[in-house]
Structure 1
Amino acid sequence: LTPSGYSSGSNNPDSAPLKPGDVLTYELTDGKVEFDTTRIAVGTEANVQNFRFMTADTAATRANGNGVVFFPKRRVKTKILSIEPTKVVVLIISMDDENIAAQYRLGPDLPIIVKDTSTVTNNTLPVALKAQINNEAPKTSQHNLTVNGGTLSSNARRAPRGDVVSKYLDQAGNELAPQETVITNGLENAAYTATEKTIAGYELVETPANVTGKVIGNTTIEVIFVYRQLKTFEVKKVWADPIHMLDEVTLHVLANGIETGSPIVLNATNNWKETVTMPVTDMQGNAINYSVTEDTYTNYTASVEGNLTDGFTVTNTYVPTPTPVPVQPTPAPSKPTPKTSDATNVMMYGAVGIGAFCIAALIFIRKFKQSKKTSLKTFERRFFLLTLCKR
């Protein structure tokens, strides 16, 4: 429906120029046509057409001999505030140039239904329209509408229609960005595709299963994009002994004990620190426990302090290798000195010796008896020995 409505600009002495925030009301008064309310939803945008500009500055514009410049492009956008079969109220939300000195011929770009086709001649239908801006007095005018489309039999069934909207929530169900309309009053089975948003400080958990699909009649499909929060923190290196510093060190960020992301290499070039961005929660919305570890380096110990909120600091301490102490050789053990308790053994050895001596003496005496040449003195000496043995 594109009837003339309010005009604005220098050629309109009856009304101030239209501007964003103005409310326009259009009402069909003769009963020949009505708005197709099944295809118009409150809150959606509708174009209001301007058919021509009137300007005296023909040198600066492409104009015909009468100074009329035609702009097929729609320059005014509105939002539907209310809709009835014979009445629609719209709010002007934007205009290409609200200060231009020109005449706007306005009309809502909305679908209508012709109730009696016998009144249509050569695709033209005269319609009475009443228009009103804000609280000013309404104006009624007669317009010839161009009618396009087909006709329906009396028993025709209206095709079901539905809506599709996108929602952007965090894992707790809080809205992160305004809801967006994907399709309004779409025909049943019409294909749709919803689009995710880039939201600062968040990342998409997963793409919804219904991000693409088909419109369901008399139903509003909600495509819910769920995001999880991201946290940016710093990982830095501190040397307890600046004299003993390595050229670089490699650190690892662990999420619930499992390494995540790429290893972090710190050195003098990056001033021994790096910024890391990690999700605060896992896919199920549970908080992630983060920690930092460092590769092992000879003669260095590492201590880690920090958390996801404050960042992590790894401090290295140099531990020199201790000087080895010389080992003295173990002396050979000396022979043990017999103790008092060994007296019994000495006596035994002495008795054996005396016994052997006595046996030798007896053998000698026997040989003496056999020899007659032995002197008395020798005999007495041997006798003494024999007596000693007997004792």
Structure 2
Amino acid sequence: MAFFNTEMTLLILGVILLATVLAGTLSSRFGFPALVGFIGLGILAGVEGPGGFYFENFELTQGIGIACLLFILFSGGMDTDWRDVRRMAAPALLLATIGVLVSAGIVALSAIFILGFGPLQGALLGAVIASTDAAAVFAVLRSSGLDLHGDVPALIETESGSNDPMAIFLVGAALFLIESPTASPLQLAPDFAIQMVMGAIVGVGVGFGMPEILKRGGYQQGGLAFVISIAAALIAFGLAEVLAGNGFLASYVAGIVAGNRTYAAKATVSGFQDGMAWLSQVVMFFTLGLLVTPSNLGPVIVPGLSITFILMFVARPLSVFICLAPFRQFDWRSKLFVSWAGLRGAVPIVLATFPMVAGVPGAFAIFNVVFFVVLLSSVIQGPTIKWAADRLGVRS
């Protein structure tokens, strides 16, 4: 009987993976990001869908989300040209730090007035939802075939891959202040510096180390080279976190450094990591969809709509225009497009599990609002990326 159960479990997992991919492909054909299809199938398989599967393990979901995100960032880094990163370092860094902070602040104020949250709860919601999502941005831009002029695509991708650490730090800071109301936010400044510096150092080290191991070990094609690339992504994240660094930054930096070095197995490893990133998206979004109970979203529709439109039409544009003001190569049309291309995706939903796991008051409302905002952002912004590029004249 145990063997039969194992067979059935593997069969069901295979069918779910295939069905999720097909759902994502179908949503893409209708102009929606693939993540909509992935999440949609998860909802259908969940407790209120035909699948009827009850799943409410936020801690497991958080672990799955973290594991998937590190591979998405590692793969995104491997596909990023170092020349783009070097050229776009200053504006992308401003968007990834000050931009996230501005967006988080505006959303926090909105949550206080619209949702009746306290200041720290509002700050937590703002931090959770402030960063753009690397998986969503990479998928939409690279699958849409958009040929954008100038530095616009490089800026969007570099920003989306590097702004998660700031959002994660802000979420951690908000949780810390909720648990220790008498603490000063200034106490967290050294922690932020250590996280960024250590994450970058570990990322550079792992990024240089992986190609060296592949070259010196003679792993030229496939096989063990794939295993080593998986190990590199895991070590970059894990080692950075153990050393008080930011693991997500380390994963992204490691991918950039490794992807811009020359070694025999580079093409096959890059292709394999691209497959790992897509598998991660499928697993992560399906799991997140499984976690959602649609009937719980009803009470947050009106406030969720309000937060979404404030984020899309006030917080994000304002943060982009402020951060890109010193950079004259970006005119107002480019800034508007960069603003519109700041899709939300899995990162905010995964971050929304942190308050749930920590048992923060109001965490359930935060999770539902975040899920609603992400879904609405994907449905509105994803299909209109090409239209926005045409109307703003940023296509080559």
Larger strand fraction of residues: 1
TM-score normalised to structure 2 length: 0.17
Higher relative contact order (CA 8 A, sep 6+): 2
Larger helix fraction of residues: 2
Whichever of the two has the greater Rg, that structure is 1
